[in-house]
Amino acid sequence: MSIIKILILKGGMNEEHLVSLSSAKEVKKAIIELGYKCQSIIVDPKNFKSKIKNYKFDVCFNALHGTFGEDGKVQKILYDKKIKFTHSGIKASKLAFNKHLTKKKLTNKKVILPNYKYIKKRLINKKILEKFLLENGEFIIKPVSSGSSYGIKIISSLKQINIFLDLINKKKSIYKNHKDFLLEKKIQGKELTVAVINEKAKSKAIAVTEILSKNKFFDYNAKYTNGKSKHILPAKIPKRIYKLCLKQSKMIHDKFKCKGVTRSDFIYDNINNRLYFLEINTQPGLTKISLVPEQLKYFKKSFNQIINELILSASQSK
């Protein structure tokens, strides 16, 4: 099929709206340079299903992040309407976006996970948080379904527990749209990430980057603010751990049946020499300071090349 026109999906009306706009800007620039015709639309989940039929295009480039864009919802709408689209499909997107489902899928798969507890927001109380702190020490609390490290809080004291409980119960809380949470033991060590791409129907793990954040961890601010983090590529870690990062990233990408490009995050506990898997992202950022484009450049693959491959792969899908 000769591709004539690409429709870029951006926005999404969620906490990652601005990140999506930045990704879409870089994607559109690449698509134009590749010689394709394209247009982009701001996606509103409320009317997308009816609105999409008004556009004529060959492939939909999904530049959305967060809820609706990477949780399987937009993928189902596109699939049901027989529209070809980039990145992962319905099941892979839903599985990867839900951190609890991800962990359940990987239990007993030779992947080490930090100790965690899944809990409904309505059941979160002081007693439960204090018990988890006592048993695990410093821990992280985060929404089950959210990206870009949005809403993550580090808890290391009773005072911080009280602050979090006050925040979560506010009517205008940043957590108002989140019903499920994870409590996860905070592992001290090196933050690592690996991009995996599909080449000719086969997946390949690209490289391992170590992230040095000026904040307490690689949070939303550090991810999308220039100068807030430093990337060491390739990561300066033992060869065995480096190879293990690549191996596990590819294994998880394949096991979840992901397509296009993903990014897997790890923590390397260099004191105890243990590698912990954190999560996989099926819609990694494609902004100027994002990790995936940086790894592709290191791999001697241009940003335009991967965008073209995503489009061609989508156009050839059944």
Nearest-5° angle of CA 265, CA 194, CA 106?
50
Q: What is the per-residue pLDDT for 107? A: 85
The full set of domain ranges for the chain reads 5-87, 96-112+188-316, 116-185
> pLDDT digit string (tens) for 177-197?
788 999 999 999 999 999 999
pLDDT in tens, 149-187: 668 999 999 999 999 999 888 766 778 778 899 999 999
Task: Determine contact, residues 252/67, Cβ cutoff 8 Å.
Answer: no
Please compute the mean of the pLDDT values over residues 194-223 and round it to a whole number: 79
Q: Which CATH code, of 3.40.50.970, 3.40.50.20, 3.20.20.450, 3.30.70.260, is assigned to 5-87?
A: 3.40.50.20
Which pair of structure tokens corresponds to residue 244? Answer: 């293990």
For the segment 258-312, what is each residue's pLDDT rounded down to a tens digit? 999 999 999 999 999 999 999 999 999 998 888 999 999 999 999 999 999 999 9
Q: Where are the alpha helices (H) located in 126-176, listed in sequence order?
A: 126-136, 158-168
Which carries the bigger pLDDT value, residue 173 or residue 137? 137
Q: For residue 207, give both structure tokens.
A: 């490289």
Q: What is the pLDDT of residue 149?
A: 63
pLDDT at 220: 47
Spell out the CATH class of 116-185: alpha beta
Asked whether the beta carbons of 173 and 151 are under 8 A apart, the reply is: no
Residue 290's region, left for phi above 0, alpha for psi from -120 to 50, else beta, is beta
Look at residue 227 in the predicted model and tell me its pLDDT. 62
- Any alpha helices (H) in the chain, and if so which ranges? 17-33, 48-51, 73-80, 90-97, 99-106, 126-136, 158-168, 220-224, 239-255, 291-298, 303-316
96-112+188-316: which CATH architecture?
A: 2-Layer Sandwich (3.30)
Q: Phi and psi (nearest 5°) for 310? A: -65, -40
Task: Report pLDDT digits (tens) over 68-93.
Answer: 999 999 999 999 999 999 999 999 99
pLDDT score for 213: 77
